[in-house]
Amino acid sequence: MNRTHRSVVLTALAAAAILAACRRQQEPAPVPEPAPAPVETCDQRCRDSIAAAEAATRRRADSIEAANRAAADLARRIEAAKAALTARVLFDYDQSEIRADQRAILDQKLPVLRANPGIRLLVSGHADERGSDEYNIALGQQRAAAVRRYLTDNGIDPSRIQITSYGEERPATTGTDENAYAQNRRAEFEVVAGGENITPP
Amino acid sequence: MRLSVRRAGGLVLMVAVALATGAVVAHAQDTTRGVRLGLRYTPGTKPGVLVLPANGELGDSARAILQRDFDYGDRINVVTIDASALETPAGSSAQGQYNYPLYARLGAVAVVHPSVTASGIHIAVHDVTTQRIERVREFRLEGEALTPEWRLSLHEVADEVEFWITGERGVSATRILYENGGRIWQIDSDGANPTPLTPVSAAMSPTWHPRATHIAYAARGERDLRIMLRESGGATRVVAGSPGSQYFSPTFGPDGNTLVYARAGEDGATDLYAINPFAPGPPRKITVGRGRASNSPSFSPDGRRIAYMSDRGGTQEIYISDADGTNAEILTPFRFGDQRERSGPDWSPDGRLIAFQGKIDGRFQLFTVSPRDRSPRQHTNDGSNEDPSWAPDSRHLVFASTRTGSRQLFVLDIESGRVRQLTRSGGARLAAWSPLLRGR
């Protein structure tokens, strides 16, 4: 019987202890704590994922910027190619030979023409106003033909280069001094086909 | 001054009346064409001619036009006098009385008396020396008064009367083609009625058919210059042209069925070609320039020779050859150190001279040269002077000049050196003087 009593007491004590523990657990916190900051709630893994996302965003921005840079560069190269194609060539008085200092202007057209087989050019020859009006038609044609010959001698298909002459009818600049005349003795270049999607060389 | 002239006229009247009888009964005979008055025209001597006032307002206009035509012809010295001095009985012909001594005092050797009639104009020409009526004729005038047609038929009258008086037909019944603002224009020989004939098409280098039934000129098509043929009625078609080549400076042969033009080809060379613009057929190549330029052709009046500009020798010179291009020879020989550009030849209708432009001190001046003796004669100094074209009288040249600023057309009498301005607005160049437009 004694043993039994002891056992009951122990059981009761244990129960009391459990109850006490339970009561303690059910008590509300005496002071509500402030809402924890997210970073405080973010563990290492969370922080890692944020960093990864930020890196991805940065990479995306970098690639857009790079793409923009590339596009701008391409546009610039296309513009440069167009400018090279249409750059004027100047001539000496009553001459249709390509001047040594004008060859580079023609040479810059060659890679553009090679990279864009669809491009066709119209070369127009012009004269200053000092020669006779009718002879200047002939002279303009000689200049346009000399330019065409230079391009075809450098491998450009003749069918891609059309020529015409305007004589002295379309001066680039008005004026009656040598500077104006020099600007007017020229060949001009117009892209008449294949100019929509130029591939820069 | 006027008073004294009147008084003198009044005094002379007494004498004139006394002498008049014989004159007024002089038989008005319409002598056959080509018979001259008692006057002989010699170069450098211009007979004085007085044109009496004609009846009515229209008469005033007709008289003014006749006087101007005689003046512009440079063969007649038009005697001018205050009209009031002639309106008195002393000067007028109201009663068929002519004051020959007064006319003689004024320096007139002939008197032209026009009278406007219902259908035209009646002209009486008096020889002041013999005090006789030498010729009379009534001319029909076409169209409404003062229209271009009317004026042209009055110019024909002036040309015929000039022939009666001087033995040389006037050239007032002509028109001149030129370029202005990309169009071909036409203007009367006296500067009246400037009229555009073509749309704006970068047109240039007009030329007349020898019978004035057509004109030819160069005009830009989509891109290149082509030769256009325009009937006087206005119908126009392309007679020569191809993409990439420039066709320009057309000229007709005197047969009217040959058209020679310059073609600047895709190889850059410019050569002359001939076609019959009224019958299809391949062009005949005339010059072989070997890559150089030959352009601005002009036929000799017999059609057997052509003059043209070529730089085949290195500088621009005038060449002449047979019409098929053979027997070419240089007309304006190159001289060492002489870099003048000679171009734009036009062979005179009488065959004696070739007019062209040559450069002196950076400016073009007009020259003429005889195909025989080949010594050029310079005719201009002032401004830049280009594109000469002969009148049918082989004495007057129309040309473009910058002497008054913008490029305008002027007419030069190569015998007296007298120059008059023809156009006055815009710019004008590349003139072509028509043949006589009789009966048109």
| Binary contact (B223, A164; C-beta < 8 A) | yes
Residues of B in contact with A96 (CB under 8 A): 268
B429's tokens: 């160049």
User: Where do the H-state alpha helices sit in B74-140?
Assistant: 83-87, 100-105
Chain A CB contacts of B364 below 8 Å: 132
pLDDT in tens, B12-21: 333 333 333 3
Letter for the amino acid at B399?
A: F
Q: Which residue has the tokens 């020859």?
A: A125
Contact A135 B243 (CB under 8 A): no
Polymer length of chain B: 440
- Of all residues in chain A, the percent with pLDDT exceeding 90 is 71
User: Is B235 within 8 Å of B215 (Cβ atoms)?
Assistant: no
In B, minimum Cα distance to A169 occurs at: B202
Contact B343 A134 (CB under 8 A): yes
Burial class (CB in 10 A: 0-12, 13-18, 19+), B414: buried
In one letter, which amino acid is B335? R
SS3 state at B192: coil
How far apart, in whole angstroms, are the C-alpha atoms of residue B440 and residue B437?
6
Q: Would you say residue B407 has pLDDT above 60?
A: yes
pLDDT of residue B21: 35
Say if residues B93 and B55 touch (Cβ distance below 8 Å): no
Q: Determine whether the interchain pair A132/B341 forms a contact, defined as Cβ–Cβ distance below 8 Å.
A: yes
Amino acid identity, position A37? A
Query: Tokens representing B297?
Result: 């052709």
Strand partners, B238: B228
A159–chain B nearest CA distance, Å: 11
Q: Tell me what pLDDT residue B314 has.
A: 87
Residue B98 has pLDDT above 60, yes or no: yes
The residue-averaged pLDDT of A73-80 equals: 92
Kindly provide the ipTM of the predicted complex, given to two decimals. Answer: 0.86
pLDDT digits (tens, 9 = 90+) for B206-242: 999 999 999 999 999 989 999 999 999 999 999 999 9
Identify the pLDDT of residue B290: 80
Cβ A137–B223 below 8 Å, yes or no? no
Which pLDDT tens digit goes with each residue over B287-306?
987 889 999 999 999 999 99
- Rounded-to-integer distance, Cα A157 and Cα A113, Å: 10
- Minimal Cα–Cα distance from B38 to chain A, Å? 47
Q: What does pLDDT average to over chain B?
A: 87
Both tokens of B407, joined, read: 């490029």
Judged by CB atoms closer than 8 Å, whether chains meet at A164 and B343 is answered as: no
Which residue, chain included where needed, has tokens 């191809």? B242
